[in-house]
Amino acid sequence: MTNSFAVHIPDAELEPDPLDPAQIVSGSPEVSGKVLWESPDGRQIRGIWQITPGVVTDTEADELFVVVSGRATIEFEGGPTLEVGPGDLAVLREGDRTTWTVHETLRKAYSINL
């Protein structure tokens, strides 16, 4: 069992997490992140993630996240388009295929269930 903790998200140091070049649609977005907690079985992950402006595609995990800074448009294949910015909470469904248009460097705190 991990001890309780708090992290100031805007100042957290993140580590580079290179994108698969096949995911990049336009621009030269860079991703970084930090896993803050992972369950012993690896099925739950909580952390911080950041992406710089550009357009990328992704296949989503079962995720809840809260945007701390930045803005993005998330288009779902055959589904809705979400506009997210500071203070917004979003839920992504596992397997959803998305296109992220990042307008301003976006930083989010997330919880993923695998």
Domain limits, the chain: 17-113
Per CATH, the homologous superfamily of domain 17-113 is: Jelly Rolls (2.60.120.10)
Alpha-carbon span 98 to 74, nearest angstrom: 6
The pTM of this model reads: 0.95
What are the tens digits of pLDDT across the range 25-62? Answer: 999 999 999 999 999 999 999 999 999 999 999 999 99
